[in-house]
Structure 1
Amino acid sequence: MSATRTGGIGDEPIVMELDRELRHVRASDAALAMVGLPADALVGRTSGEAGLPPEVVEPLERELRAVVRTGRERRLELRMPTAGGVRWLRLRVRPGGGDDGGPAVTVVATDITERKLAELRLSGGNAAFRALVEDSPDPIALLDRELRVAFVNDALEHAAGRPAGSLLGCSLREAGTPDDVAARLEEAARRVLDTGERAGLELHLPTPQGLRWYSGRLLPVSGEGAGNVILICTDITERVNREAEQAALRRVATVVAREADLEEIARVVAQEAATLLDATSSAVYRFESEDTATCIAAHPPVGAGVAVGLTAASATGRTARSGLAARVDDYLEDVGDSSVREVVEGGLRSGISAPLWTRGRLWGALTAGSAEPGAFGTAEERRLAAFAELAAIAVANAETREELDRLVATDPLTGLANRRAFTRRLAGEVERARRYGHPLSLAILDLDDFKLINDTLGHQTGDAVLAAVGALLQGTSRAGEMVARMGGEEFAWILPEVDVAGGVVAVQRACAQIADLVVDGGARVTCSAGVCDLETAPDADELMRQADRALYRAKRAGRDRVEAAG
């Protein structure tokens, strides 16, 4: 419902006729257009019954009743909400005869919106005030005693994405301010009017440029404009985003510094990146090749540990191939690609990826995706890169810890587990076997007359023999078993799910292969061993003792043989 020319729409005036009960008898086309109703929805009904807004019905019917009662013409100005924005009308309410069936009251309206807006602008303050705020880069509004908008500057029009004409005379909610923000502003403005003191608050407001943060200051007006409140909004979005970014990076850095495991760090990185970038999802991937990656962690927490295919059409795939940051603004542009089709079917339209470089090699990528096309720009690329840098440090630290753990648990000569790692593993295997009632065997092996090899052929040859025996035993063992070098020429072999008889057979086979080794100088290497299982020994310490005793029985019995405990 709208009227764009003073006096009416087109050349037709805005006229309504009503009877003594204030029911509409007739309305011109311009009047019907103004109220946004067809004739049959208005004629025969009062303004309230026809559904006109209460803020229109109350003052209008008050004047109509006065005219019916006194028979005298009355005038008023009325603020009329319409689908095209707020319109201002000047009404002449004239008495009619009403005795011969004619109208009791005739209302003739003139659209004075443009003049009223000009007046409201002028009432926004004196010329000095307008000159001060009109060119301000900060959005500024003047609120009257009823907390309606009496003035806005160009910056506020731009921030709101609406012309002044659709804002002036409106309450904060009518001007498009979200209810929660409007409530906070109204509370603060009333406090300013009551106390005469300034007030401040931070506001999160939708704009044509997206959600923005503002620092709002409300100031009381004194002198000519006393009773009004000035609202000044300073855009602090960049500051808020920068503080949020720094806080998120600090949280990630804290997790990295405390040397959490890689999965936990990746989970925190993905969560913080998704939140800061307002992304639908985020993930940390380890590249297995240019075409395959493993998800280490994701937010929301889905897909961890899953292998995914990569193509050059996805942001992650581009990073895997180039080692550089990548961005896809709209996956629908290449939906023919199978991996991109999976991305789109998963609810994502745009994606961004930052490489994770560690120790001079491309390890993986930190990625983010959005259900909206074009969701990421250069600012998001910069933020993701900052998270990726911390994630790369975490990866390097985790790999260093893994390498140190491996070195601490590994015999440097043979590459087998050392005594420390063996002892820890044996305790765990005994506990599992006892819990589930499974068999478990332990073999202790010792090379026969190894000192003779060192004395006659030298320690270098002796080391080569130890390394060869270690490789042979490692190759002979099955998945889930452990072979360790206990020191000198002694080895240990943990055989889960194997009883003593099976253990003896496996160790005899290995000893036979050791006897076939070719040693420099033509010397022959043989091995003696003792085997024990949990049927004979109740715990790890007793397993070691019983297997050791069986080994020495094999030595005393002539060497190059395997003995079972018990």
Structure 2
Amino acid sequence: MPRISGGRSGTGEVVAVGPGATTIGLHMNNTTLIRTDELERILLETTPRKAVQRAVDLIAQSILSASVTVMGVDIDQRVHFDAANGIPWSVLRKVEASFNQELPRNIMGIIRGRETCFIEDVGAYPDWRRRAASDIVSYVGFPIIIDRRVVSIINVQTSRQRLKPEDVDALRPLIHLISLIIARYLKEQQSANRENFLSLLHETTLDGVRAASAVEFMNTVVKRIARRLGYQYIALFLYDDETESLILRAQKGYTSEYDGLALCVHDHVGVVVRAFRLRHTVNVSDVSASSFYLRGVPGGRSDLALPLMVGGKVIGVLNLESKKAAAFSREDVRNLTPLAAGVGLMLASMQIKQLLREQALLDGLTGAHNRHAMDGIVVEELERARRHGHDVSFVMLDIDEFKSINDRLGHAEGDRVLETLVTVLRKSLRAIDKVIRYGGDEFLLVLPETSQRETELLLERLRAGIGTQVLTAMGAVHCSSGIATVRGDPEEGDLVQLADKRMYQAKARYRAQLEEDPGY
């Protein structure tokens, strides 16, 4: 069989075979040649990971007393073993943990120099990390480079045979083949990751368009992140101006006791607060070494907080936690940053729309609800009262002699009276009660879960408060009122109109009393 030498003669030899031949590959110390069909099997494996493992097995079989590993290197220079032959995985995991505490000099040299590291005599190498009962004689590490960065290292170690420079040269063709396979795998993985993040960003944008509220949108975003990226602990906080706190609005993985959690932005603890205050991403790889970590997940090891920035202002924070140390790489941060920006922009847009909707339903002068909001409020409270068997009262309130105030004291004074009246009403009413400006000086009070008698007592307190706090140069302001309730009045009647009718009846009695007794 004709044979053409493709490498150095001596200890190591790369052998290529002529037409019709069945073998090609590495020949070292008279070992069996690597067959063509073995190389084909590498390329025909169903997954790149299996292909790399088969290639690693092939190298190990081709070199006497060799152990071979493929070690991935991420953008943060943290390492992980992807394939191995000749070393138990239990040992590799310990090596992995040790390397991620501090990389040995030979590995760091490969990463920084992007060149092969060959140690012919390990015993003479001062920085070699020796394990008990280790009998390693020689080592060679081949870098795999993508985009000018070392992404993997193929490590070959021998325990009885000392490698020579010609052996290393003989290995290069097969190493080059494995490098291509690994590079293809990593490129596919990077492309899939980018596509995954882009799809997630697109989906969250559509979710924001469809969502009826910011809370609904945030809950959907949390679910999508969990499903797409596999994160177990996710929290979305929104900044609240009134309390100057970050409020937890949506989460996954945490217990329900965290719902509504408020973190004061003036505190100096917590990764979330720190990201808000610094206005940039905070990535804590090991929370045990962090002075500001605030425990959220039992057994949590790493925490990543990304501020939701809109126009230079932080409106919230996306927080991710993990029970694994160094769970979030710089590549994760690079991919998550545009997602956080997109979520922030969508939330800001929704907040503006919500504010515009609310302003459209508010009276511009007093801040009370206006007539546009009234129908929805009345229908909602009536349905709730009938569904739960509760009462609800409607009170129509009208300022007596309001025209005289405008005519004699001016419209500016009339406006001040209206604003002051609404302020007094809000102070005296509950958060669930509604104040609606029904007309010029007419206000409708909607009082859920309030009976006729309770409403009458409330009106007595309101009149006393109005009489002492809503004052003009003409004296104290007086209001007439009418009440209608679900339980006290016919169901088929319009309770708002009924309250309005009774208010006019009360106003008529008030005027009659004034005519009879001007000092009343």
Q: Specify the TM-score bucket, using the shorter chain as the normaliser.
A: 0.5 to 0.7
Contact 1:484 1:493 in 2 (8 A): yes
- 1:434 is displaced (CA, Å) by 2.2
Greater relative contact order structure (CA < 8 Å, 6+ sep):
2
2:407 counterpart residue number: 455
Selected match of 1:486 from 417, 432, 438 = 438
Q: Find out whether 1:305 has 2:199 as its counterpart.
A: no
Which has more radius of gyration? 1
Q: CA deviation at 1:348?
A: 2.7
- The separation in 2 between residues aligned to 1:168 and 1:540, in whole angstroms, is 94
User: Equivalent residue for 2:382?
Assistant: 430
Q: Give the partner amino acid of 2:287.
A: Y
CA distance in 2, matches of 1:314, 1:506: 45
Which of residues 273, 279, 282 in structure 2 aligns to 1:326? 282
CA separation in 2, counterparts of 1:396 and 1:142? 63
CA distance in 1, matches of 2:211, 2:425: 35
AA partner of residue 362 (structure 2)? T
Counting matched residue pairs gives: 379
Task: Say whether residues 1:553 and 2:505 are aligned partners.
Answer: yes
Distance 2:41 2:208 in 1: 52
CA distance change for structure 1 residues 459 and 131 in 2, over 3 Å: closer, same or farther? Answer: farther
Residue 450 (structure 2) aligns with: 498
CA contact (8 A) 1:485 1:492 kept: yes
Structure 1 residue 427: Cα displacement: 1.8
Q: Secondary structure at the match of 1:413?
A: coil
Superposition map of 1:275-294 within 5 A: 278-287=230-239, 293-294=246-247
| Helix, strand or coil at the partner of 2:317 | strand
| Change in 2 beyond 3 A, CA 1:418/1:144 | same
What pairs with 1:150-189 in structure 2 (closer than 5 Å)? Answer: 160=53, 162=56, 164-166=58-60
1:144 to 37, 51, 61: 37
Check conservation: 2:394, 2:485, Cα contact below 8 A. Answer: yes
| Cα distance in 1 for residues equivalent to 2:498 and 2:360 | 27
- The amino acid of 2:37's aligned partner reads D
How many angstroms does 1:302 deviate by?
Answer: 5.3
CA contact (8 A) 1:159 1:208 kept: no
Is the 8 Å Cα contact of residues 309 and 339 (structure 1) preserved in structure 2?
A: no
Query: What letter matches 1:144 in structure 2?
Result: D
| 1:290-439 mapped onto 2 (5 Å cutoff) | 293-300=246-253, 303=256, 305-307=259-261, 314-334=270-290, 339-340=294-295, 342-343=296-297, 345=298, 347-358=299-310, 360-439=312-391
Q: Do 2:420 and 2:470's aligned partners in 1 also have CA atoms closer than 8 Å?
A: no
Distance apart, 1:337 and its partner CA: 6.8
In structure 1, distance between residues paired with 2:325 and 2:435: 55
Asked if structure 2 preserves the Cα contact closer than 8 Å seen for 1:284 and 1:366, the reply is yes
Structure 1 residues 486 and 378: CA distance shift in structure 2, 3 A:
same
- TM norm structure 1: 0.57
Alpha-carbon distance in 2 for matches of 1:412, 1:515: 25
Secondary structure of 1:122 counterpart:
strand
Residue aligned with 2:249, SS: strand
Counterpart secondary structure, 1:412: coil
Unaligned runs of 5+ in 1: 1-114, 134-140, 170-174, 179-206, 211-229, 562-566
Q: Could you say which residue in structure 2 is the equivalent of 1:512?
A: 464
Letter in 2 for 1:316: V
Identity of paired residues, percent? 26
Distance in 2 between the 1:498 and 1:504 partners? 10
Whole-angstrom distance in 1 between the partners of 2:485 and 2:49 = 83
Q: 1:198 maps to what in 2?
A: none
- Segments of 5+ residues of structure 2 without an aligned counterpart are 1-8, 27-33, 64-69, 71-81, 85-149, 154-176, 514-520
Pairwise CA distance, 1:279: 3.5
Q: Distance in 2 between matches of 1:157 and 1:476?
A: 73
Measured against aligned partners, the alpha-carbon deviations of 1:541-563 in whole angstroms (never above 9, x if no partner) come to 521222122112212212499xx
Alignment partners' CA distance in 1, 2:364 and 2:245: 33
Q: CA deviation at 1:450?
A: 1.0
Deviation at 1:129, TM superposition (A): 13
Q: Distance in 2 between matches of 1:146 and 1:377?
A: 34
- Opposite residue 483 of structure 1, the aligned amino acid is V
Amino acid corresponding to residue 374 of structure 1 in structure 2: A
1:344-384 C-alpha deviation (Å, 9 max, x unpaired): x2x43222111112365322211222332122222111111
| Contact 2:22–2:37 under 8 Å retained in 1 | no
Cα distance change of structure 1 residues 431 and 539 upon mapping to structure 2, 3 Å threshold: farther
Q: Give the C-alpha shift of residue 316 in structure 1.
A: 2.0
Cα root mean square deviation, aligned: 4.4
- Give the Å deviation of 1:539: 4.0
Flag the 1:371–1:498 CA change in 2: closer, same or farther, 3 A.
Answer: closer
TM-score (norm. length: structure 2):
0.62
